[in-house]
A and B are shown apart, each in its own frame.
Chain A
């Protein structure tokens, strides 16, 4: 290995690592707020990448029907409940959110599909299709059992992952796609060729991370999320709707997943089930960081990026084994340094 190869591998590592860092953040947010270990995170990646590719090919992606279908289901469930209680204001809000909005997004998708060259519109529409799926998912799959054990929530998360993967195959088929997103320009920095693409990915990740830090540190919504994560009962007592916080965290996770999906789609071929393994690497990053500490999770994700890119150079057949075994020394170190008698969160 010479310096050029090493630098090139490092660039790859940083690019992938920054995407894992985004995913690790989403996983940490969802876990701390709702206690759901969010296995379906990866599906948002695939959905976003494949929806964008479908729009670029001039067609309307099937994810739009999922959005409309989910909206209809919630409209029936929540709408009928509101009607029975004669809460008409609530009814109109439910209908606006779950009927009008999905159809508006579907209209936008149909329009965007006719403009194959308008990249920005396609990206925005893709985000608009995928992001609302987060809160919808929470409402349909998790809200009815919000106080169940972590295990039951986890099993439901896996079931949701199965369903979404199955739908992904139906909508997009088994073919892999790559999108065209960034100009192929590159420039020289010493011996290193830096592509605009990798710069754009790292920059987007950084901007999103800073925005999220602002959201959590400065806004009332972010504080509500943090309060719910620290103590659900306490948050409810001071008037924070944990239901709202949970939906918000799922929305954030979907948004982050969608952004990650759009970012990776030009550099990796994405199939309907690719997202799962990508988000698992985010999990590894989050574990290395200790699940609840965000800066460490980001650092852990970078380490995952480096491990992956260097092991793909030296021992590409064992790349995945190396990445996923890397948490064992981390767990070993953590278990040797932790002496507290841990009381689990649920009796």
Chain B
């Protein structure tokens, strides 16, 4: 059975559910839908983005209380309370996101725990929110005079919104911004090197998840028509996270499966345990904890990825080419000064990885940067691309000083690189990995991606990526998971990704390592073709045969300093270079 059939079957079952099920189960399904909306936000934020939040229940609560106060005290229409709830959640989420997201991993979960508790106690102690007894008699939602008051009638709005949210999140993940989102978990350097503003993207993700939680809170208030602090406590926030992790936090369907499983399990345990264990006590949380631990010991990615692996894989294809090929950069005229590194120094503590290094490059040149291991070659790349700040000296690109710019700004100016330690996203397809390189050549944002308004642009980006992958010889493996390819091919993905950026200056860090002879030949041909097209290439490589046959000029580094500079024959006969490579000849 294919995924698509399974999905339509699930939607069909959901559609007929209220017709055949009793009130109790319809209510249960309503709760599942409400939780799914919040959990979808967590799939995006936590599962894919790697940002853990225990505080989603607080956003649900803010929206639910906004709805309650506006409708009961100020007589605002329940429909109008939705934009109000979203508008109130937005600045709060922006503020909380701003103060926590720029810090490293563990602050966010702890920070969210703290505000989860703080907001709960605030709800419980504020006079205007009815303290711990809450606010009752929230009016019914009605549509064209038809009241959606009771639980059965709220079923369709709840599940319609749940499915729309699911499709929106799924669309978002399969887009230009989605690829950037999937790269911020542990790949921020790479993402920034291709122009992704990861700090901004993290805040957008956080706000997106908070707004989904607020949507659920609005529905919650109108469904129960009563709010009190308990459902928005830290415990509820923890439960949402459980749902995401158990369902499979990297898959949108994981949100629904996790929410359904947990909601039903809790009900079921409450029902069944007292009849098994003839004793009162909080046994359901013991069993619940135990089941969670055992489950995560078996499948740590959650249920949906586990079962999805059993289904036949969907055959992915390139979208129809609906857009003209992406416009290409006008390369700087051949021979124009391109890169000027002057007295660049980078120290790590007492160790000077690069010290007083100067060299120049002209447009259209292929320059080799060689030197023994640890000479500082990759550090030079990091300095040029803004990954590391230089301690001293300056770096100019086409006359403009770039050594103080962030990585994504340098990328915008036309420098693209590969990484010595392969920096791809193994779970993503080869095509998607390469397409990250074209990030700056598209502009579709979160909203247009969620609404699928980005397809023309997306088609252009994907065809560009497919073409560049074809150039490096991976044209037949576009839809394989990148992590399944051998290391040499993964390096070629890196090259294709850098090419997708349509760079003026391409930095290749040991691209030939792990390649067979024929593949090296093909790579050398590619570099020559790029040079003909006006692209300048700076190449770090240990395979001397590969370097000498390819480059116009060579800079040799040793112990962070420039040892020699010249044409390949000059370098091959330079005694200092020979000594550095082979040791001194006594």
Chains A and B are bound partners: yes
Residues in chain B near residue A141, CB distance under 8 A:
293
Residues in chain A near residue B96, CB distance under 8 A:
328
Question: Which B-chain residue is minimally distant from A277 (CB atoms)?
Answer: B117
Residues in chain B near residue A37, CB distance under 8 A:
106, 109-110
Cα distance A126–B293 in the bound complex, in angstroms: 27
Q: Are A341 and B105 in contact (CB under 8 A)?
A: no
Q: Are B113 and A283 in contact (CB under 8 A)?
A: yes
Within the complex, what minimum Cβ distance (angstroms) separates A166 from chain B?
Answer: 4
Interface string of B99-127 (1 = CB under 8 A from A): 11111111101110111011101100100
Select one of A151, A328, A335, A347 contacting B46, CB under 8 A.
Answer: A151
Cα distance A346–B281 in the bound complex, in angstroms: 39
Question: Which A-chain residue is minimally distant from B119 (CB atoms)?
Answer: A321
Select one of B104, B286, B387 contacting A342, CB under 8 A.
Answer: B104
With contact pairs A162-B289, A163-B286 given, residues A321 and B106 touching in the complex (Cβ less than 8 Å): no
B297 CB within 8 Å of chain A: yes
Within the complex, what minimum Cβ distance (angstroms) separates A291 from chain B?
Answer: 6
Q: Are B290 and A145 in contact (CB under 8 A)?
A: no
Q: Are A324 and B249 in contact (CB under 8 A)?
A: no
A244 CB within 8 Å of chain B: no
Residues in chain B near residue A158, CB distance under 8 A:
238, 241-242
Question: Which B-chain residue is minimally distant from A328 (CB atoms)?
Answer: B99
Within the complex, what minimum Cβ distance (angstroms) separates A327 from chain B?
Answer: 5
Q: Are A145 and B300 in contact (CB under 8 A)?
A: yes
Q: Are B52 and A320 in contact (CB under 8 A)?
A: no
Q: Are B107 and A291 in contact (CB under 8 A)?
A: yes
Cα distance A320–B113 in the bound complex, in angstroms: 13
Q: Are B286 and A150 in contact (CB under 8 A)?
A: no
B503 CB within 8 Å of chain A: no
Which interface class (under 10, 10 to 19, 20 to 34, 35 or more) fits B?
A: 35 or more
Question: Which B-chain residue is minimally distant from A140 (CB atoms)?
Answer: B293
Q: Tell me the residues in window 110-166 of chain A with beta carbons closer than 8 Å to chain B beta carbons.
A: 141, 144-145, 148-152, 154-156, 158-163, 165-166
Q: Are B102 and A338 in contact (CB under 8 A)?
A: yes
B282 CB within 8 Å of chain A: yes
Select one of B114, B125, B189, B288 contacting A343, CB under 8 A.
Answer: B189
B245 CB within 8 Å of chain A: yes
Residues in chain A near residue B110, CB distance under 8 A:
37, 283, 286-287, 291, 327
Cα distance A155–B99 in the bound complex, in angstroms: 24
Q: Are B289 and A331 in contact (CB under 8 A)?
A: no
Residues in chain B near residue A144, CB distance under 8 A:
297
B528 CB within 8 Å of chain A: no
Q: Tell me the residues in window 313-335 of chain A with beta carbons closer than 8 Å to chain B beta carbons.
A: 317-318, 320-321, 324-325, 327-328, 331-332, 334-335
B160 CB within 8 Å of chain A: no
Q: Are A155 and B292 in contact (CB under 8 A)?
A: yes
Q: Tell me the residues in window 195-236 of chain A with beta carbons closer than 8 Å to chain B beta carbons.
A: none
Q: Are B288 and A162 in contact (CB under 8 A)?
A: yes
Interface string of B477-501 (1 = CB under 8 A from A): 0000000000000000000000000
Interface string of A260-294 (1 = CB under 8 A from B): 00000000000000000000100110110001000
Q: Are A151 and B245 in contact (CB under 8 A)?
A: yes
A-B interface contact total, Cβ < 8 Å: 162
Q: Are A150 and B105 in contact (CB under 8 A)?
A: yes
Residues in chain A near residue B293, CB distance under 8 A:
141, 156, 159-160, 163
- Interface core residue of B102, B109, B288, B407 (most chain A CB under 10 Å): B102
Q: Are B121 and A291 in contact (CB under 8 A)?
A: no
Residues in chain A near residue B284, CB distance under 8 A:
166
Cα distance A317–B198 in the bound complex, in angstroms: 40
Cα distance A317–B122 in the bound complex, in angstroms: 9
Residues in chain B near residue A148, CB distance under 8 A:
296, 300
With contact pairs A151-B245, A324-B118, A331-B100 given, residues A344 and B50 touching in the complex (Cβ less than 8 Å): yes
Question: Which B-chain residue is minimally distant from A168 (CB atoms)?
Answer: B282
Cα distance A204–B107 in the bound complex, in angstroms: 30
Residues in chain A near residue B79, CB distance under 8 A:
none
B186 CB within 8 Å of chain A: yes
Within the complex, what minimum Cβ distance (angstroms) separates B142 from chain A?
Answer: 36
Q: Are B186 and A343 in contact (CB under 8 A)?
A: yes
Q: Are A151 and B249 in contact (CB under 8 A)?
A: yes
Within the complex, what minimum Cβ distance (angstroms) separates A307 from chain B?
Answer: 12
Residues in chain B near residue A152, CB distance under 8 A:
245, 296, 300
A169 CB within 8 Å of chain B: yes
A167 CB within 8 Å of chain B: yes
Within the complex, what minimum Cβ distance (angstroms) separates A282 from chain B?
Answer: 11
With A166-B286, A324-B118 known, 14 other A-B pairs at CB within 8 A are A152-B300, A160-B289, A163-B286, A169-B281, A286-B110, A291-B106, A321-B121, A331-B99, A335-B98, A335-B100, A335-B102, A341-B188, A341-B387, A344-B104
Q: What are some 5 contacts across the A-B interface (CB < 8 A)?
A: A155-B296, A321-B121, A321-B122, A328-B111, A335-B103
Interface on B for A, CB 8 Å cutoff?
46, 50, 52, 96, 98-107, 109-111, 113-115, 117-119, 121-122, 125, 185-189, 192, 198, 238, 241-242, 245, 249, 281-286, 288-290, 292-293, 296-297, 300, 387, 407, 425
Interface on A for B, CB 8 Å cutoff?
31, 37, 141, 144-145, 148-152, 154-156, 158-163, 165-167, 169-170, 280, 283-284, 286-287, 291, 317-318, 320-321, 324-325, 327-328, 331-332, 334-335, 338, 341-347
